[in-house]
Structure 1
Amino acid sequence: MIVGYARTSTTDQKAGLEAQLRDLRAACCEDIYQEEVSSVDTAKREKLAEALRFIRKGDVLVVSKLDRLARSVAHLNEIVKEIEGKGASLRILDMSIDTGTPNGRLMLNLLGSIAQFEREIMLERQREGIAKAKAEGRYKGRKPTARAKSEEVLRMVKEEELPAAEVAKRLGISRASVYRVLADRAAARG
């Protein structure tokens, strides 16, 4: 059986998801698993885990691009090991790689290493750019989201007597942020 997997990092990437689904259908995927989750959140890729549980001996897991599947060589190797452990193979469409062949396995390892190297170089440049902008006084950082909602947090806790988890949910911030706002208020009164 040919099984497809499609992933986008955010819900804003509808066109990218549609393109992946189109490519997977064209590759004759009989079953397609799709999700919208960041590559950083590898632990939360429920549909990938489902697809990996589903595949059996002789099946092929198909992805349109390598970066839709794994972000690091170590993660890629984990996934490939699991696929091959089931007697299945991996096909990456945009690279014409099929791990069912020795050449495909070699190319996958080479290209995975290059992709990880490129990502590390990009992150290094990003850090250098941020350091330079900070030195020049141009870097502002991200806008504080939870502290901007401090008054709302305090009002909801005091007047509505809501628990921290509910305040966090309603305001779209973390529970830790709610506790931080409360701790800041207690320290200011202190």
Structure 2
Amino acid sequence: MARIGYARVSTLDQDLDIQLARLRAEGCGIVRSEKVSGGSRQGRHELATVIEFLRDGDELVVTRLDRLGRDTRDVLNLVHEVEQRGAFVTVLDPHITTRGEMGHVMLTVLGMVAQMERRFIKERQREGIERAKASGIYKGGKRRLDRERIIKLRDAGKGPAAIAREVGCSRMHVYRVFREGG
């Protein structure tokens, strides 16, 4: 029986250290992490790897439920996949485990709260952007990728996969920069 930790933050500039330290302190022998949005499962390759790796009796450990996902259906589907492998999920804060039925109920409720929180965040963000646009101070989001560097690497003969590895982004982002930059 293995305790396998999974840590996630949404953006490249966020820090995983607190989650990683907590998971190791909780006895997770293996900890996988990634910097990708939890809004969907798309692009969450480390999570897919963890789920594939789970065996009967193993435990998937996350620090908070929103590290698994922010959509109730997605979280419940993840829990179902984990259980199909004979494993279970443990959330550290608040402490909930799917070993018993009450854990399933609590995960469902917390998943709904996380989804509602995500909607509220998006709504507040949209309202803030609209106010900033109306007052003429909105300049758009800051660019997180060095687009000039990506184009220079392409011009130097590097392929999209190599550029993505070097810059620290997905190939999809590289292709998007190619389309935007010509």
| Common topology (TM > 0.5) | yes
Counterpart residue number, 1:37: 36
SS state of the match for residue 3, structure 1?
A: strand
Structure 2 distance, partners of 1:110, 1:162, is 52
Aligned residue for 1:136?
Answer: 135
Aligned match of 1:99: 98
Structure 1 residue identity aligned to 2:116: F
Give distance in 1, aligned partners of 2:138 and 2:12: 28
Q: Distance in 2 between matches of 1:67 and 1:113?
A: 11
> 2:114 and 2:100 mapped to 1: Cα distance?
21
Q: Distance in 2 between matches of 1:26 and 1:85?
A: 27
2: CA distance between counterparts of 1:53 and 1:91? Answer: 17
User: What is the match of residue 57 of structure 1?
Assistant: 56
Q: Is the 8 A contact 2:40 2:74 kept in 1?
A: no
Query: For 2:144 and 2:103, how far apart are their aligned partners in 1?
Result: 46
Report the counterpart of residue 4 of structure 1 in structure 2: 5
Work out the number of aligned pairs and report it. Answer: 171
Structure 2 portions without partners, runs of 5+ = 168-172
Distance 2:19 2:176 in 1: 37
Look up the equivalent residue of 1:63 and give its one-letter code.
V
1:48 and 1:129, CA in 2 relative to 1: closer, same or farther beyond 3 A? Answer: same
Distance in 2 between residues matched to 1:98 and 1:106, nearest whole Å = 10
Aligned to 2:170: none
1:77 and 1:107 map into 2 onto residues whose CA distance is: 11
Offset, 1:128:
1.2
Structure 1 or 2: more helix by fraction: 1
Contact persistence 1:164–1:178 (CA under 8 A): no
- CA 1:145–1:30 in 2, change beyond 3 Å: closer, same or farther? closer
Q: Displacement, 1:164?
A: 10
Residue segments in structure 1 that go unaligned for 5+ positions in a row? 183-190
Q: Tell me which structure has the larger Cα radius of gyration.
A: 1
2 CA distance for matches of 1:24 and 1:139? 39
- Kindly indicate whether the alpha-carbon contact (under 8 Å) linking 1:62 and 1:92 is maintained by their aligned counterparts in 2: yes
The answer as to whether partners of 1:164 and 1:175 remain within 8 angstroms in 2 is no
Shift in Å at residue 144 of structure 1? 7.5
Q: What is the Cα deviation at residue 121 of structure 1?
A: 1.1
Deviation at 1:21, TM superposition (A): 2.1
Over 3 Å counting, the alpha-carbon distance change for 1:27 and 1:131 in structure 2 is same
Q: 1:187: which partner in 2?
A: none
Q: Secondary structure at the match of 2:90?
A: strand
Identity of aligned residues (%): 40
Partner SS, residue 4 of structure 2: strand
5 Å-filtered alignment, 1:77-92, equals 77-92=76-91
For normalisation by structure 1, the TM-score amounts to 0.73
Aligned to 2:74: 75
